[in-house]
Amino acid sequence: MVEMKDLIGAWRLNGCEAHDGEEVTFPLGESPTGLLVYSDDGVMSVAIMRADRRPEGQQDILAGQASASAHAEGYLSYAGTFEVVGDRVRHHVNVSLFPNWIDTTQERIVDLSDGGLELRTEPVVFGGRTRVVRMRWSRVRKDAES
Give the tens place of pLDDT for each residue, 46-73: 999 999 887 766 677 666 555 666 667 8
User: What is residue 143's three-state secondary structure?
Assistant: coil
Give the pTM.
0.88
Ranges of each domain in the chain: 4-52+68-139
Q: Are 135 and 125 in contact (CB under 8 A)?
A: no
Give the tens place of pLDDT for each residue, 111-130: 999 889 999 999 998 878 89
- Amino acid identity of residue 116, one-letter, is G
Q: Are 98 and 76 in contact (CB under 8 A)?
A: yes
Q: Return the CATH fold of 4-52+68-139.
A: Lipocalin (2.40.128)
Residue 145's φ and ψ, nearest 5 degrees, are -70, 150
pLDDT band, residue 21 (cuts 50/70/90): confident
- Amino acid identity of residue 115, one-letter, is G
